[in-house]
Structure 1
Amino acid sequence: MMYKVMLVDDEYMILEGLKQILPWENLGFEIVKTARNANEAFAYLSEHTIDLLVTDITMPEMNGIELVRTAQLLGYHFSTIILSGYQEFEYVKKGMQLGVKNYLVKPVDKQELLETVQKIKEDFIEQHHLEAQQQAYLETSLIRWLNDELNEREFQELMEAYELGIKGPYIAVQVSGSVSLLENITDCLIKDQQQLLLTNWIHTEGHLVWIYQGTHQDLTAYLLTIEKELGNQLEWLIGEMVDEWQNVYESFEKIQQIAAMKNFYPDLLPTSQLELTGPRKVELSFLSFNQALMIGDSKTIECELTTIFDEMVSHHYDPEDARYIVFFLFTDIARQYPTITNSLYDETIQGIRNSQTINELHHLLESLLLKLKAEVIEKPFSDIVQKVVDYVQSDYQQDLNLKMIADELYLNVVYLGQLFKKETRYSFSQYLNHVRIRKAQQLLLNTGKTINEISEEIGYNNTNYFSKMFKKLNGITPKDFREQYHGEYTVLLRK
């Protein structure tokens, strides 16, 4: 990496001397601009960035100290070396206040300048190392957010680190392409202060993911401006818009579903490239359908399903778009009910392909729900994953974590986590919360225990956290669940 240097002095010979006095390129620096005055320097800074400014003190119109102070007020960031024809304590004092790295008296001593530049380079390397560590930490937190592994305190800390507000809505977005294209997109996003970026997948997976704060309408308009700026028609994958931060994982899940459709079921995609982001004729609530699936009551699930199909009918969805939506509904069912066998999965996909009307698609999913209700379908996990499932089912009241189980099984925790999510379609923490909340549902319906007692019995030490988790997954509070479903609950499939 070459660090960019700008030299500013009103004397031409001084500028030429500074260019020759050090082997700048060998030191890792590139002189990108020489300027004779502050106005010329600011004209360059308005369109370019620099890492190091070497400037004379005495210049017409604006001296070197004023140049540095004004640049800082305008938001330009760089290190500075001040040059002067004489030692002036007041200038040294002002320079120190502005963070100037060194104050050198003309004629410049070559060795002193060399040592100063080398020290500045060491500072740059250390700063970049710290920034890389900070970015890695932030991206790890973003990944945990997308995987539904952040608690409220951690989320607030994440937003504070990015200096962003915590208000939604939120939409997960993904774009794929060459490394150079994705880096250009990243530059555009950073310039527009889109900070919630996951760039570490650019080199490993060939795609960029970020979390947009705003509506689908605003996002669509923004994506068009990026395409116009880059001169490329890009393939954006856009998740569901969610209002609450803790549901961002559902938006990210929709991206993964679209990606899977592209790879395995391209015939289910709309023919228009613009429709790859998902039909936006109406904001269908997949989240509400997922919450109904979590509740597990047959009537609630059927009601939510009917609502979605009624919306598609009223907004005149054609069969192509309807098949696209139904694929998502089906994958949500398969995710909530991982016991669906491979043969039933393939049969349903074929049914989606062959359906020609919205009514056929509606009937297909209704039939699937009836099969789940009528049969005890078992889909065995691998021996390793089954052991983890057994741990959770038997010890969910305990303070469990995947590291503890991985050590018990003499397995690498990362490998075990990846294998578990591949087979169950949930992270370990998600699965544990689902098991606990389903146990809570049973206790709410079949016992007279208080919310506090149930919270403690299923492994939550904090009742408020339990209530928030219950509402997040079910869409209603424990109290409302008990009142609404006590004596009126028909389980779809006990998992």
Structure 2
Amino acid sequence: MLKAVIFDDEYIVLQGLQKMIDWSMYGIELVGTANNGYAAIDLVETHSPDIIFTDIRMPGMDGLEVVEKILEAAPEIICVVFSGFNEFEYVKKALKLGVSDYLEKPITIPIMEDTIRKILEKLHHQKTVLSLEEKWEDSRSDLIEKATLDLLLQGDEALPKWRKSFEEEAKNIVAVTVLALSEKSPDLLSYSSYFPVYIRNGSDHLLVIYHFEDDSIEWMNQLLYWPSEFGITLGSGRTYHQLTDASKSYKEALQALRYGQFMEQGEWTRFEEIGENPNIPGDLSELEEAIIFYLRTGDKAGLFQQLDEFISKIQLQRLNPDVIEREILKLIYLGLEVAKESGEDVSKISQGNYLPHVDIRLLNTKEKMFSWLKVQMEMIMDWFLRIRKDKKHDAVEKACTYLDINFAKDLTLQDVAEYVGMNPTYFSLLFKEEMKLTYIKYLTKLRMERAKELLREGNKVADVSEKVGYHTYRHFSELFKKHAGVNPGQYRDSF
């Protein structure tokens, strides 16, 4: 039922409108009356009415002032003004404020009933329009989510439908970034610089950021707090300016999430932080990617589980021996590429020259091939871990010394990995093992501690941001606040 209130300083008007109109017949409950402006405001705050009838002339605060205050706070309320003063200026001001009707006194019952009917028609129309708008928004939201998922999975083929779903907004999108989440995320606030779309693909929780501006950072500043506030692990792919590259960002986001969950639960891992091996193809199956993951991370149980799944898949497909041989050799050589990330000569894995493509030809059954595969992968892993143990301390110590001197430069994981002569992915895992911190967290901590020193010396926040390697002041401020609990200006002023 709708709620209505009446404001008038004439007692007879209040009583007449209360008694002479059957409000319930129109589906309206008259919840209160007031005879001055201040009481009127209190009544509105208490009952939140849908309709207000008010006289212009009242003590304390006139009706137009009351209407102005009410509509400023709740513009959806319908206001009807009546007065015995037929002055054009009153009418003009009332209409300008957004009142629905202006009635001249004396107010008759037929005039009031006719006005109520008009109000009900208006409310019905508003409700219909709102319902249609909500249905359209829900429908469009579903279309956008479907078009986004198709874009991630199909690339070029999905682009025409994607453009149709986004309508005019499609022309303004300049880049796309995909994030993979460990679980359903809270809503990411929209800004003028980007538009977020949350989607599910099987067990994958994905957040796709469409950028309207290059170098937008508002979305990054929000996500900085998600791991600590909501316990969510994030993995993000790289940002691409070609929409058809969204599928690359998607695959990278899944890889980053997997490595992030391995290295540190409840953190945000960027694909740039784990690096990539250009010698490993980008179109691997999920099984092949999982085998590489367990090799790199030294998880022998996980590796053998994936090898068993690979063997089961091969068995079900009933492939001929040549195809089986080719698939097994592919895994062996992928394993060798992972081993090469150490920078050592992989021919030393076994005594003499290691020639798996020759060795496999000596096996005459698929069972022997599968057993041989497991032996080879275990041998590669053991050699890889032994090399890692021998080299880890010296390489990470060299990297830390380099970072201590060059932290203010625009340093990427790739830069530091090249300096110590290692593959970025291998180096990132090595660094985390030795330092118990990811590369990016170590560098951020280094920069924040130096920033604190500079702020305590009284330097300007913008200057400090530049001196510790952040060219975007707002991003530096958010990182500092996350690290220190207060923003840089507050920290400097406290000293």
Give the TM-score, by structure 1 length. Answer: 0.40
Larger Rg: 2
Q: TM-score, normalised by structure 2?
A: 0.40
